[in-house]
Amino acid sequence: MSTGTTSAPCKGLTTKEFGLFRELIYREAGISLSPAKHQLVESRLVKRLRVLGLNSFTEYYEYATGGDPSGQEHLQLINSLTTNKTDFFREQHHFEFLQKKLFPAIEQRANETGDRRLRIWSAACSTGEEPYTLAMTVLDYFGPMSVNGWDIRILASDVDTEVLSRASAGRYEADRLNDVPADVRKKYFVRTSKASDSDYQVRPELQELITFRRINFIDATWPIQTCFDVIFCRNVMIYFDEMTQDRLLTRFSEVLVPEGHLFIGHSESILRLDNLYRSLGDTVYRLRPGIGAAARKGNTGAKPVTTTTDSTASSGRDNSVTRSTLTTSRVTSVSTVTTKDSNSIPPGQHAKWQEEIDLPVQSLIVGELRASAEPARLTTLVGSCITVCLYDPVAKIGGMNHFMLPNNANEGRESATYGIHAMELLINQMMKLGANRRRLEAKVFGGANVLGRPVPSGSMLNIGERNAHFALKFLETENIPVVAQSIGGTRGRQVHFLTHTGQAFVRETKNTRMALDHENSQTAQLAVPKGTAELFIDPIPS
């Protein structure tokens, strides 16, 4: 197929061709196009025909839906038919509600519970103006994350990959900021050059708060494994039919914290779903008590947030958020780190290493975690399980967890047996001791296939591989660097971790049944050399 600029197609978009594209965009993105959009669809798609050198919309449809082996044109087609209208501080009253009512209520809850965690989702974020406005609003209220002890993240998603790329870059033409107050521009943007009409670049502190991901509302599953305090989904549902809107709003309820808040566009209404949401006015809604997956789990932890607009809220209820994080569906490959013999002790270091080896040992079994601001030696035995050791090198605070599976789809409690909880619980415990989430570094161990028989990669039976995938993806998404790892293989591992130095020491077990049973073996005297992570090939006695 030739590509390049050619003349316009000989014929316009026929009614039959419009029907093909109309069905496709409804099926794949939930967007309902009325016949009045016929001309709009033609004007947008004709640009793609010119680029590809095609002469009919039927040819383009066939190419985009199967003729392009890379699948990239299929994405281009979806991108072309989605609408991306947005502005900074659009519908200002929503951001005023956050600053004057919701954020103070969340802060009050944090003072009572110690839970200084906030998750916001900008759904259908377009070119990024909305999530960056949310980030500005967050920083104006809570201050810098590095000094205030808060753990705040914003997920920004869209189905259009092109606008996501522009949003992630955070660069905007000068006229896009015409309605942004001068003091806000000065505080959160920088000129890319000295020219009066030069572009603006958002400052790094805004970008650090935001994770950009492609999410299609129509997909059967979303790459999300957290619950949000706030969801913004504004001026999107107007493109969906009522059935699609109701399905989307119900799914939102499943990823909101108990009595979490939903913000929609000024021309949208969800009053027909008053069994799920209660209107607080100005297109702000709150999830009703007992609604949604998070509320049904009945976990202990964070209480619902009560804003001053609703005096009937049951502030005494003891609900909690499923403590997890934003993840994506892309899987990172897991490889086994080859261990090497490092048993020699550096000259003159015998006394120092012996002193650290002689620290009291605290053993962990599956489903447990510990963190310490004092010198401590943590140890655990992992087979297909994973242990993640986290360390803040400035505060010299370390911690370790030990989890068995990535998620708990059916269990109703928040349990460190599952990675989705074990990671956040460990991070939160370390932050309470004074660690800074943005300084954390990780070491990951385990994920072996200890079944004694071959298991295909990617199989649901390969628990170790699934656990390792989860751990590495979690840490990547949370921007926590993995500085050492020993994962995969067929043997269990005995892991020792020094919380005050961040050093981890590993030996493979000779008896795999020990790892299968998740039992702690008797701690052996380890000859510990200096280094970030030392890996031992000599087995612990069985």
Q: Which residues are catalytic?
A: 44, 158
- Cα 185 versus chain centre, distance: 28
Distance, in Å, from the CA atom of 466 to the CA atom of 464, rounded to the nearest integer, reads: 5
Residues 32, 19: contact at Cβ < 8 Å?
no
Distance, in Å, from the CA atom of 376 to the CA atom of 450, rounded to the nearest integer, reads: 29
Amino acid at 357: I
Q: What is the CA radius of gyration of the chain?
A: 26
Select from 479, 491, 485 the least CA-distant residue to 389: 485
Cβ contacts of 515 within 8 Å, gap of 6 or more? 381, 382, 383, 384, 385, 448, 450, 491, 492, 493, 509
Distance, in Å, from the CA atom of 425 to the CA atom of 458, rounded to the nearest integer, reads: 28
Q: How many residues does the chain have?
A: 542
**Kind and range of the H or E element at 329?**
none
Sheet of 256-264: strands edge to edge? 210-214, 151-158, 117-123, 228-233, 256-264, 284-287, 277-281
Sheet of 361-364: strands edge to edge? 361-364, 377-382, 493-498, 504-509, 533-540
Distance, in Å, from the CA atom of 70 to the CA atom of 262, rounded to the nearest integer, reads: 37
Distance, in Å, from the CA atom of 275 to the CA atom of 295, rounded to the nearest integer, reads: 15
10 Å Cβ neighbour count for 515? Answer: 25
Residue 54 CB burial class (10 angstroms; 0-12, 13-18, ≥19): buried
The contacts found for 508-514 with CB under 8 angstroms, 24 or more apart, are: 508/339, 508/536, 508/537, 508/539, 509/381, 509/539, 509/540, 509/542, 510/539, 510/540, 510/541, 510/542, 511/542, 512/383, 512/450, 512/452, 514/381, 514/383, 514/542
Dump the DSSP string for 231-271. Answer: EEE-S-GGGB-HHHHHHHHHHHHHTEEEEEEEEE-TT---G
Distance, in Å, from the CA atom of 365 to the CA atom of 429, rounded to the nearest integer, reads: 18
Residues 5, 50: contact at Cβ < 8 Å?
yes
**Kind and range of the H or E element at 74?**
helix 72-81
Q: What share of the chain is helix, strand, coil (3-state, %, to 5)?
A: 35, 20, 45
Residues 275, 288: contact at Cβ < 8 Å?
yes
Distance, in Å, from the CA atom of 344 to the CA atom of 346, rounded to the nearest integer, reads: 6
